[in-house]
Structure 1
Amino acid sequence: MNLLWRHELPPRPAGRGPKQAVSLDAVVAAAVALADRDGYAKVSIRTVAAELGLRPMSLYTYVPSKDALTVLMVDQVAGEDAPIPADLSPRTRMAAIAHQVRAELVAHPWLLEVSPWRLVLGPGRMRRYERQLGAIEGIGLSDLSMDRVIAVLSEFATGNARMAAAAARDTRRMSDARWWEVHGPVLAEVMPSTMFPLSSRVGATVGELYQAPADPDGAFEYGLARLLDGILREVADRPVPDTPTAGDL
């Protein structure tokens, strides 16, 4: 907790021993860059130290473990979100919440390997939550509904980002066109249209449109639109409190 909130807490007096060669911010930035480049599995105290030209044992003077470093990494990335302008429509502001969550995960796919459950709240994640709440404050939702809207939008964006990240990873290994060249003849033999008529018809339609097994970007926009329709319908259907009349006062 002290490491997360280090910039908000009073400076700690320097301890004994040699002066640290780099800042904790630099350690976290190096770990994020390493995870972005090589994946979360490659992040360790040893590999991050090597990125900084430090001895592995010296990194323990900054962070006690990889788990602690991971918490710092997640919080730093969360702090990168841009504010959502208040003059946008409620629908656009809610859409921005989902777009930001998805963009963060696509840019840092290693986050999908980190459990979001019970992560210690740091300044980055708290400021993001505050911005998200501010984006939907005043549109007619209760406090509980505001939190649930953010959760639903975030979880939907996370699920779609997982598919988008997988598509980006797999197409780097083999293009979709090449995949069909290799596997298409076998699939045509074992999955004749007479056996799977609906799948064949729909699959041919979407395959021609997407030129890929799926369309994560299009699915995201379609699903987000339906989610926002439902949320805004709830707001529109919410009873308006009675306005007191002169006789009631």
Structure 2
Amino acid sequence: MSLLWRHELPTRQAARGPKQTVSVDAVVAAAVALADREGYEKVSIRAVAAGLGLRPMSLYTYVPSKDALTVLMVDTVAEEDAAIPGEQPPRERMAALARQVRAELIAHPWLLEVPPWRLVLGPGRMRRYERQLAAVDGIGLSDVAMDRVIAVLSEFATGNARMSVAAARETRRMSDARWWEVHGPLLTEVMPPTEFPLASRVGAAVGELYQAPADPDRAFDYGLARLLDGILGTLSAH
């Protein structure tokens, strides 16, 4: 906790021992860059130390464990979100909130591998929550409803981001066109339109439109619009 809030706590006199050659901020930045580049599974105290030109044991003078480093990484990324302009209409503010959550996860896919429940609250996550609350404040929601709207928009964006990240990874391994070249003949044989009339009709329509099994980007836009319709419709009904 003290590491998370290190910039807000009073400066302490350095303990005796080897002089630190980098900062905690530099350690966290190196870990985030490594996770962005190679994935969360590649993040380790040894790997981060090597990237900074340090010995593994020396990194423990900055962070006590990978778990602690992960909390710092998540909080640092949360700090990146910009404030949502308060002069925008409520619908645009809520849409921006959801888009920020999705964009963060697509930019840092390793976040999807970090359990979100009970992450220690640091300044980055708290400031982001404050910005999100400001985006939905004053539109007629109760305090509890404000929190629920943020949760619903964030969870929808997270689920869609997970699909988008998975699609990007699979497409890098094998293009959709190549996948259908390999598996299409067998699927045509075992899934005749007479047995799956609706799936065949709808699948053909969306396949022609998307040129892929799905379209996470357009699904996000559609789902977000429907969510906002529901939230704003509830407000107008009161």
- 1:233 positional shift: 1.0
- 1:178 positional shift: 0.9
Where do 1:77-156 residues align within 5 Å?
A: 77-156=77-156
SS at match of 2:19: coil
- Amino acid across the alignment from 1:47: A
Q: Distance in 1 between matches of 2:5 and 2:129?
A: 16
- 1:213 positional shift: 0.4
Q: Distance in 1 between matches of 2:95 and 2:160?
A: 14
SS at match of 1:37: helix
- Amino acid across the alignment from 1:149: V
- Amino acid across the alignment from 1:34: L
- Amino acid across the alignment from 1:120: V
- 1:193 positional shift: 1.2
- Amino acid across the alignment from 2:17: G
Gaps of 5+ in 2: none
SS at match of 2:37: helix
SS at match of 1:164: helix
State TM-score, norm by structure 2. Answer: 0.99
Q: Distance in 1 between matches of 2:141 and 2:69?
A: 36
- The aligned counterpart of 2:189 is 189
Q: Distance in 2 between matches of 1:13 and 1:59?
A: 19
Q: Distance in 2 between matches of 1:40 and 1:196?
A: 41
SS at match of 2:17: coil
- 1:21 positional shift: 1.1
Kindly, what percent of the aligned residue pairs are identical? 82
SS at match of 1:179: helix
Tell me the matched-pair count: 238
- Amino acid across the alignment from 2:189: E
- Amino acid across the alignment from 2:212: A
- The aligned counterpart of 2:169 is 169
- Amino acid across the alignment from 1:195: E
Gaps of 5+ in 1: 239-249
Indicate the structure (1 or 2) with the bigger Cα radius of gyration: 1
Q: Distance in 2 between matches of 1:141 and 1:11?
A: 40
Q: Distance in 2 between matches of 1:19 and 1:206?
A: 61
Q: Which aligned segments of 4 or more residues in structure 1 are displaced greater than 4 angstroms?
A: none
State TM-score, norm by structure 1. Answer: 0.95
Q: Distance in 1 between matches of 2:5 and 2:221?
A: 36
